[in-house]
Amino acid sequence: MNEYQLLNPYTAKALEYALAISYLLLFIPFWRFVQGEAVPAHALGFGWFQVPNGVHLHAGHAWARPEGGAVEVGLDDFAHKLVGPLETVRFPEIGAPVRQGQKAFTIVAGGQPLDVLSPVDGHVIALNEAVRAHPADALRDPYGAGWLMKVEPRWLTGNLKNLFSGDAARRFLDAAAGKLAQRLTPQLGVVLQDGGTPVHGIARALDEDHWDELARRFLEGK
């Protein structure tokens, strides 16, 4: 018989409540961190990272949005906040082929190059030159002006079946948020409550020495 079984039912239930409250309190600074501001406890919940309707997410946190005969591709809200402001985007050449689930372009943040997988099959037909010139601006509007490239799709109907959209996309981002929250330490929580770390660059706040490894796992869809 273990120590927990030796507790009377009331003590055991109190311990369960204490653990639940501790877990909730751990979420509060993480929520503030992601939002960049203090929020009341009653506002806690998922929905930390946003995805608009009409956008389809790849497991590696690239997004695709059909526009006429082309598909816009970018980096989702989660990925931007995970890695922080982009220093460089290494684009493919116009006309280059891309394959769903394979490297499409490389972002550089915090001095570390990180490969991003393509959400669709096709050929690159346009690049966002504004983002090339000012890559850090992409995080301000990741699903709008922050698009990165346009692709002429090859197997769009089939590709979209492998992506998340609507409620499935929101659940996918909620799950990613949960994975990050599990890594939140009480020490980090104190830091965030005392003034916080900038909302962009969550991976570096969670693991300063190995943040790029953490980011790569998410961008590889793991």
* For helices 9-35 and 186-193, angle between their N-to-C axes, nearest 10 degrees: 50
**Residue 81 pLDDT > 80, yes or no?**
yes
Mean predicted confidence (pLDDT) in 77-81 = 94
Q: Cα Rg for the chain, rounded, in angstroms? A: 20
Structure confidence at residue 179 as a pLDDT band (50, 70, 90): confident
184-211 tens-digit pLDDT:
654 444 334 444 433 568 888 888 889 9
What mean pLDDT is predicted for residues 104-127?
Answer: 97
Report residue 131's pLDDT band, with 50, 70 and 90 as the boundaries.
very high
- The pLDDT of residue 181 is 78
What is the average per-residue pLDDT within 127-143?
95
Integer Cα distance of 28 and 46 in angstroms: 12
pLDDT digits (tens, 9 = 90+) for 55-64: 999 999 999 9
What pLDDT is attached to residue 205? 82
What pLDDT, on a 0 to 100 scale, did the predictor assign at position 202?
87
Number of Cβ within a 10 Å radius of residue 78? 23
pLDDT over threshold 60, residue 15: no
Residue-wise over 126-144: b if at least 16 C-beta within 10 A, else e? ebbeebeeebeebbeebbe
Name the residue with higher pLDDT: 135 or 30: 135
Q: In angstroms, how far is CA 62 from the centroid of its own chain?
A: 9
Whether the pLDDT of residue 75 is over 80: the answer is yes
d(CA 166, CA 2): 45
User: Residue 47: which pLDDT band, with cuts at 50, 70 and 90?
Assistant: low
C-beta separation of 46 from 177 below 8 A: yes
Task: Return the DSSP state at 57.
Answer: E
* Contact (CB, 8 A) for 153 and 97: no
- Rounded mean pLDDT of the chain? 80
Q: What is the pLDDT of residue 163?
A: 98
Highest average pLDDT, of 26-30, 50-54, 87-91, comes from 87-91
Structure-block tokens of residue 181: 């929250």
**pLDDT mean over 74-82:** 95
